[in-house]
Structure formats: C-alpha cells, structure tokens
Amino acid sequence: MKIAKFSVLLLILFIFPVALAQLKFGFYKESCPDAETIVQNLVRQRFGSDPTITAALTRMHFHDCFVQGCDASLLIDQTTSQSSEKTAGPNGSVRGFELIDEIKTALEAQCPSKVSCSDIVTLATRDSVFLGGGPNYTVPTGRRDGFVSNPEDANRILPPPFISVEGLLSFFGNKGMNVFDAVALLGAHTVGVASCGNFIDRATNFQGTGLPDPSMDPFLAGRLRDTCAVPGGFAALDQSMPVRPVSFDNLFFGQIRERKGILLIDQLIATDPATSGVVFQYAANNELFKRQFAIAMVKMGALDVLTGSAGEIRTNCRAFN
C-alpha cells in the first residue's frame, strides 16, 4: 500500500508541479501536528454510522473547487446580508456540512486559527474515499479560505447532468484537466445516488419522444419507472447487482458499458469516441482507475487555491471572520 501511495505521489508531482508548488505536503507538521489524525478519526467515526458520507464529501469537494477554486466558499451560510453558494440550484442536495463543523471544532480546540476549512474538506474527502474502498493517496495542504460565496457563480459554472461529452471535456479542460481526469472523477458516481428528477425522462419520455432513451437497458428503464413512481425516489448511480452504492471501485464503468448508466452523461461517456476508450480501460483495470482517480483528485484540489497571506483561516466554516 505504501509503495502504491508513493508511486501516485511521484506521478502527481511530475504531471502537475505548478499548482502544487503553492501547497505543501505536511503543511501542518509544525503548526498543528495532529491535524490530519483528528480529521481522519472523525471521518472514520462518521463513516461507521453513515458510509454514504464518501459520496457526500466527494460531491462537496467537487462543487467547492470548481467554483472560484478550493476555498470553502460552499460552506458559508446565507444571512440577511450575505449570499451563499449553498443556495444555488446545483448545491441544493450537497450535504455533510455538520461533519465539517465537527472537525473544525475539534481542530480549533487543539490548534486555534491554524487549519483552514478548505483543507478540512480536502482531507476529509480523501479519508472518506479510502474508507469506502478507494485509493489511499497523499494530499498537499496549505489552502486558505476565501472571502466570496456567490450563488450565481455556482449556477453558472457547475455542469448539469445532461451536459454533452464535448461540454464535459471543455469544462475540465478549462481547468487544465484531461480526459483521463474527467472520466476518473465521474467514476466517483460508483458511490453516488441521484433523485428521480435528474433521470426519469430517460426512462419515460426521452427528449419529448414519449419513449425511453434507446441507449438505456430496457429492464433498467422499467425498474426506474417503478422507483420513481414513489415520491422522493432515487437510484444508485452504480447499478451493480446487488446494488452497492458505497463500494468505491470500477464496477460503475462496466455498468455504463452495458447501457446501465443512470445519468445521461454517464451513458454518453461510455459510447462517445472521445471517452469510450478511457471507460474501457477503467472498466478493465480497477487499480488503474483508482490511481488515476487519486491523481485527478489532487489536481482538482489544487485548483485556484489561496495560499500564503491570501484569504483567511476561518474560525467557523459557515461564516467569514
């Protein structure tokens, strides 16, 4: 495990040195030496009672980093005088904030005003992925928290579930991430779920045809119609049988190659020439998927970060100091 973890670290440093130069491995070694252990222990405790926290934190990290960088702007609560990314449409179902609060409280008691909320999200996500069966990887720290949280930014930037493959690759490409990164990060859907509103049209009335999406397995379409006949229905994005929505592995890619993608974009990456080859590679090699996922997560975690004297270290992750 240690050798694999070290190999991933070397790959990351080789392919993405510029952004990582702003961060540092072991940043809190002197200022808060137990920081990563405190995060890890609290995430493990939460995972023991709620394994779906892996999907929740991975989604939170993604939604935070791709909107003005990894600066914990998503954690800010709306007030009468302060807007918040939390209220944006794409963030309506983001959860896990109370765990971040719990971690922050523990860190403030141990090391006041030392560990940023943005680093807490990054570390907690990493730990939850590993607990869920995903890769064990090292992340650099030293991020600082931002001063802006604007719902319009999130509504404008975050991609919808019906985005095209071309749009998806452009979205990631604009952040310096390639097709291997994009497909690997979508692989996090192996532990995710979606509410019926995000996909029921594919099972009932695809693009106004009155018929299911012909690219969807017809038996799956039937099951989804039954699922969504109940108010508040949802489905696991990884349709491995038996359904295992909290097992972080590459089975998701095999499922979408069998026409069992729930979200339209998941199904599209399995058939589009620009991404289908990568899907095939990940479906065939779980270790390759996990290695590339780790690389993509570290790259994502370095997007437009605030370091040095920029930003602040919040004492409460829900409010600017």
| DSSP state string for 188-241 | GGGG-EEEGGGTHHHHH-GGGSSS--TTS-HHHHHHHHHHTTSTT-EEES---S
Average pLDDT over residues 283-289: 98
- The dihedral built from the CA positions of residue 166, 172, 174 and 176, taken in this order, carries a sign that is negative
pLDDT at site 245: 53
pLDDT over 70 (residue 177): yes
pLDDT at site 241: 60
Q: Is 61 annotated as a binding residue?
A: no
Structure tokens that stand for 288 in this block: 């390759």
pLDDT at site 20: 57
Nearest CA among 85, 35, 79 for reference residue 60: 85
Q: Is 305 annotated as a binding residue?
A: no
Q: Is 190 annotated as a binding residue?
A: yes
Average pLDDT over residues 169-194: 96
The predicted-structure confidence for 7-50, as pLDDT tens digits, reads as follows: 555 555 544 544 555 899 999 999 999 999 999 999 999 999 99
β-strands 193-195, 234-236: how paired?
A: antiparallel
pLDDT over 60 (residue 101): yes
Average pLDDT over residues 186-212: 95
Confidence of residue 82 (pLDDT cuts 50, 70, 90): confident
pLDDT at site 22: 81
Q: What is the pTM of this model?
A: 0.92
Please measure the distance between the N-terminal and C-terminal CA atoms of the chain and give it in whole angstroms.
40
- Domain architecture of the chain: domains with CATH: 34-157 (1.10.520.10), 165-299 (1.10.420.10)
Backbone angles phi, psi at 164, to 5 degrees: -80, 165
Percent of the chain with pLDDT strictly greater than 90: 88
Give dist(CA 187, CA 294) in Å, integer. 11
Give dist(CA 232, CA 196) in Å, integer. 7
In the numeric block, the tokens 């508040």 are attached to: 232
Given phi > 0 = left and psi -120 to 50 = alpha, else beta, which region is 216?
beta
* 80-84, 152-156, 227-231: least confident range: 80-84
Q: Is 64 annotated as a binding residue?
A: yes
Residues annotated as catalytic are 63
Per residue in 174-196, is it b (16+ CB within 10 Å) or e — as a string? Answer: ebebebbbbbbbbbbbbbbbbeb
Q: Is 69 annotated as a binding residue?
A: yes
Average pLDDT over residues 61-73: 97
- Average pLDDT taken over every residue of the chain: 92
Confidence of residue 52 (pLDDT cuts 50, 70, 90): very high
Give dist(CA 196, CA 145) in Å, integer. 34
pLDDT at site 1: 45
